[in-house]
């Protein structure tokens, strides 16, 4: 019996030694911050801050008012932050009410990896491409640390709500009243990330879909769009390396979803009946997305070899993946988006209304997913079952071979 037990113990030890390192690393990473790069799938207010707020009914399900997201509620990045015990990310471009203690969001709706060299009004795609987002990150890193450490004394009215150590009363003056003598550096110390957050934080990327649709909307064939994918991915790899050069070590990279199932693509691009699958999606466009994803996965494999100190996780959201609009076969009108109004006899009338129950819909406005769909996607990726390697989100700081 003892001999049998010893044999079993030896077998178990041998099995444990042979397991990948990530399987043995059980400690959660305790990410102090998230730095996100992307497009509308993860934009928490960047485009709204620059080009005007996403209008109602965006945000109605969770925030109960527009919250910078092109969704009825929360995005996958919101669920990621919540699961890590972090607050929802403030958009880097939003100067009102933002707190960057636990990271920053550089994503803007309509962003691409490769610069489009057009205006938002001309093409519908954001001028804040991935290289611009990196430049923002590159600038934010040193400036945030300067703001944390270099303050100066400034007077504030006692009613400002700031917590400062010194109170000063001025009498017999036009400026008579009670004041707080505050060190401004101390204020920003509460609003900016610590230096170690940049190396210990999670750097998330969800971008690439718009590079495909931008090509298709410029009347490029699927074959022509495929031909530019290598250049798109080269530019993506460069940005990952740039972030790594600034101390980033933990990367969580989403691939792109089935673009051939999105109403705004189906509405604008002609598709033969024979090219539609049983779900009503356009097979050529979904095959294009899968082509991009294969290239992205190969790029991640290359990056792991070139950046051995980095932990890089590739997340297959394609496998995980309209409620608000007006008119047309797909309840989508490119000229009248969600919340759109028309004038009738000089009076504005809301026609692009939200459906009664977004929770039972996958698509929100013909372009973006509902909160319910985003939550479903998150639930499928958080445990690592759709990741390469299959590492849970909370353990994405562990390096993989």
Q: How far apart are the two ends of the chain, measured CA to CA in Å?
A: 39
CA 76/CA 44 separation, integer angstroms? 11
For residues 392 and 384, is the Cβ–Cβ distance under 8 A? yes
The CA-atom distances, in angstroms, between 155 and each of 134, 183, 186, 208, 312 are: 36, 9, 13, 47, 47
Residue 339, helix vs strand vs coil: coil
Partnered with residue 34 across adjacent β-strands are 103, 202
266, two tokens? 């189906």
Q: 394 φ, ψ to 5°? A: -70, -10
Largest CA distance in the chain: 95
Report the catalytic residues: 40, 365, 368
Tokens 């790594």, located at residue = 244
For residues 107 and 37, is the Cβ–Cβ distance under 8 A? yes
Give me the DSSP letters along 248-310: --EEEEE----GGG-HHHHHHS---GGGB-TTS-BHHHHHHHHHHHHHHHHHHHHHHHH-TT-
140, two tokens? 């934010």
- Cβ atoms within 10 Å, residue 114: 21
Helix (H) or strand (E) holding 142: helix 130-149
């Amino acid at each position: 019996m003892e001999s049998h037990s010893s044999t079993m113990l030896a077998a178990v030890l041998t099995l444990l030694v042979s397991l990948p390192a990530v399987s043995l690393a059980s400690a959660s990473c305790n990410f102090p911050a998230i730095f996100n790069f992307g497009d509308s799938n993860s934009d928490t207010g960047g485009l709204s801050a620059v080009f005007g707020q996403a209008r109602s009914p965006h945000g109605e399900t969770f925030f109960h008012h527009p919250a910078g997201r092109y969704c009825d509620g929360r995005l996958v990045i919101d669920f990621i932050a919540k699961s890590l015990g972090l607050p929802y990310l403030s958009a880097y471009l939003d100067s009102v009410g933002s707190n960057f203690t636990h990271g920053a969001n550089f994503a803007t709706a309509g962003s691409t990896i490769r610069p489009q060299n057009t205006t938002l009004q001309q093409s519908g795609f954001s001028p804040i491409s991935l290289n611009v987002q990196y430049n923002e990150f590159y600038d934010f890193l040193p400036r945030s640390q300067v703001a944390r450490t270099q303050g100066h004394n400034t007077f504030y009215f006692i009613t400002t709500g700031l917590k400062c150590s010194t109170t000063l009363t001025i009498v017999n003056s036009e400026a008579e009243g009670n004041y707080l003598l505050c060190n401004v550096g101390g204020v920003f110390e509460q609003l900016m990330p610590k230096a170690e957050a940049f190396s210990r934080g999670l750097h998330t990327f969800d971008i690439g879909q718009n590079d495909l649709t931008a090509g298709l909307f410029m009347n490029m064939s699927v074959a022509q769009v495929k031909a530019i994918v290598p250049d798109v991915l080269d530019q993506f790899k460069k940005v990952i390396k740039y972030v790594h050069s600034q101390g980033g070590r933990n990367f969580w990279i989403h691939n792109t979803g089935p673009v051939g199932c999105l109403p705004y693509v189906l509405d604008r691009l002609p598709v033969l009946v024979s090219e539609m699958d049983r779900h009503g999606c356009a097979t050529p466009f979904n095959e294009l997305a899968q082509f991009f994803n294969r290239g992205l996965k190969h790029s991640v494999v290359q990056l792991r070899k070139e950046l051995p100190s980095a932990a890089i996780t590739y997340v297959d959201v394609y496998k995980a993946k309209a409620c608000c609009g007006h008119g047309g076969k797909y309840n989508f009108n490119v000229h009248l988006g969600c919340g759109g109004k028309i004038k009738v006899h000089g009076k504005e009338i809301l026609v692009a209304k939200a459906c009664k129950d977004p929770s039972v819909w996958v698509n929100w406005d013909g372009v973006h997913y509902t909160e319910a769909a985003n939550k479903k996607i998150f639930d499928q990726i958080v445990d690592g079952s759709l990741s390469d390697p299959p590492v849970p989100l909370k353990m994405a700081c562990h390096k993989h071979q």
